[in-house]
Amino acid sequence: MAKKQISQRDINRLIKQFKRRPLQTIVIVIITLIGSFFGGKTIIEQSDKGSSRDVQTFAKAKTELIKIYQENPQQKEFYCGCDFKFIERKSELDLKSCGYKIRKDKVRANRIEWEHVMPAHNFGKQLRCWKEGGRKNCGGVAQFDVMEGDMHNLQPAVGEVNADRSNFRFSEFTKKFNQYGQCKFATDFKKRQVQPRKAVKGMIARTYLYMEQRYGIVLASQEKNLMQEWNRLYPAKGWECQRNQIIAKKQGNDNPFITEQCARN
């Protein structure tokens, strides 16, 4: 049997693993060196257990989502309903189409970013890598990368809105939407909460319920109640149903909360 070659990428990943968990990595390397004499797995294969080499990642998800929206150019930006398109991987966003007024950040306001509907903080904070060093420390950890790259949780958003939303919770607290021109999105920076337009409340709810069910994310009771209410009041239809089917084919799983409603409607 031919001996597997270790690439520079493998070596870099091993170094990263060592920096994150040095003692564990040293033990694995020693054990694997001994085991290799008996036909065991390579050092990289052993030490990389739990890495994201062969799973869905945020980078892979963005590539696939760009293709999806290039094939469905009539679809709008998520939070404000703006027209946009991708020229190869670069986005072109028409702020006039939705009456968007830049609040502060001109650069991010003029591009599409892939918004995690359930913020990375919500599903990452439970992991050891996050507790030891935050989001950057979780890169390459499969359990995190799969959640971060789940396309059901990603939507195209005005970059400035994505930035302002941060990891604020969704809520209902106002009837006035004047921070972003005609875009019906409100941000309460003091109370760390945001309110989206009615057209996407149901989609947000079904995303949260999906993430909770699929990855065991714990939702606060108040948040869970709001998502259940939005799920009931704003049923799935049209593009949400179609998008769910497209992602299911690409990613290998659907969002059952969308599938169930689309079957009924």
* Pair (174, 134) in one structural domain: yes
- Residue 16: the pLDDT is 58
User: Across the 265 residues of the chain, what is the mean pLDDT of every consecutive 10-residue run?
Assistant: 44 60 58 45 36 74 97 98 96 98 98 98 94 93 95 98 98 96 98 98 98 95 97 98 97 97 90
Q: Which of 208, 239, 91, 205 is nearest to 156 (CA)?
A: 91
- 214 falls within a domain: yes
- Residue 5: the pLDDT is 44
* Pair (99, 14) in one structural domain: no
* Pair (32, 92) in one structural domain: no
The domain in which residue 154 lies consists of 58-264
- 167 falls within a domain: yes
* Pair (130, 101) in one structural domain: yes
- 109 falls within a domain: yes
* Pair (205, 183) in one structural domain: yes
- 199 falls within a domain: yes
* Pair (20, 117) in one structural domain: no
- Residue 265: the pLDDT is 76
- Long-range interactions of 218-223: CB distance < 8 A, separation 24+: 218/126, 223/169, 223/170
Do the Cβ atoms of 151 and 61 come closer than 8 Å? Answer: yes
- 225 falls within a domain: yes
- Residue 43: the pLDDT is 33
Q: Which residues contact 45 (CB under 8 A, 6 or more apart)?
A: none
Do the Cβ atoms of 248 and 226 come closer than 8 Å? Answer: no
Count of structural domains within the chain: 2
Q: How many CA atoms does the CB half-sphere of 43 hold within 13 Å?
A: 19
Kindly provide the b/e burial profile for residues 200-217, where b requires at least 16 CB atoms within 10 angstroms of the residue's own CB.
bbbbbbbbbbbbbebbeb
- Residue 175: the pLDDT is 94
User: Which residues lie across from 157 on neighbouring strands?
Assistant: 113
Q: Which of 47, 50, 88, 58 is nearest to 70 (CA)?
A: 88
- 2 falls within a domain: no
Cβ atoms within 10 Å of 166's Cβ, excluding its own: 12
